[in-house]
Amino acid sequence: MSDATKPGDAPSLPTFTLDGHDVPFTPDQTILQAAMAAGHYIPHLCFHPEFKPHGSCKVCTVKVDGRTMASCTTQARAGAEIESSSDEVRDLRRNLVQFLFTEGNHFCPSCEQSGDCKLQAVAYELGMTSSHFTQMFPDRPVDASHPDVLLDFNRCILCELCVRASAEVDGKDVFALSGRGIKKHLIVNAESGRLADTRLAVEDKAMSVCPVGVILRKRRGFRVPIGQRTYDARPISEVAVDQYRRATRGDE
């Protein structure tokens, strides 16, 4: 027995290397989970600590021993060398975020989620200054039928967080995705297609997981002035790590 390991000592955790930093992990953690727990931010949009990752947005892509992988669905492996901050990886993520902006109708200056929007904050984090690609301007509706909730489908990025929250936590299955490819879109699970004809309540988990501005409570817009919102005060790299740590400790 070495002097470094004595009876009663907890065994040291295995580690991988993230941009030159050793990151410890437990056997059940993915690369993203281990990195965030250790205080290293990896940009992401569809990941939520309360749900099983499924890698729909790919914004959390990293290079693992030279291969590109989604860090939210890739299990941590001892000795792996991972790149998250290289120019190549950042360019890939920036392109993915630019696609999300061009595939939807995201008008940040007039959006009441501006400053609280993760898509917007990740774009700033990646140094995105324009959409780059040709805007598609899809024809998407706004559903104001519910007495307390407004749905603006223009901003949906198909992360499926509201779908999973409504099904797995709320037990109501209010939301679903329909179609394939570029025609894939969010729908309301009601015969009429109207939110008013569902059991959605403002207390539901589905109300709080949208990373953009699709699901909004009425009569609350701009209550917090622009300039004083979540990502106005601190960058998402700091906010996301703090939120992840609180959530995994059970504080949220």
What was the pLDDT predicted at 5?
Answer: 43
Around Cβ 16, how many Cβ atoms within 10 Å? 21
What does the pLDDT read at residue 187? 97
| Digit-coded pLDDT (tens) for 108-146 | 988 999 999 999 999 999 999 888 899 999 989 899 999
Quickly name the fold that domain 107-243 has. Answer: Alpha-Beta Plaits (3.30.70)
pLDDT at 251 (0 to 100): 59
Integer CA distances (angstroms), 201 to 166, 175, 176, 178, 252, in order: 10, 13, 17, 23, 19
CATH topology of domain 15-85: Ubiquitin-like (UB roll) (3.10.20)
Q: Where are the domains of the chain?
A: 15-85, 107-243
**Residues in the chain, pLDDT under 50:** 1-5
Phi and psi angles of residue 130, each rounded to the nearest 5 degrees, phi first: -155, 165
pLDDT of 252 reads 53
pTM over 0.85: yes
CB atoms within 10 A of CB 33: 22
Strand arrangement, sheet containing 21-24: 21-24, 15-18, 81-83, 61-64, 67-70
- Residues with Cβ within 8 Å of residue 67, at least 6 apart in sequence: none
Q: What pLDDT does residue 42 have?
A: 98
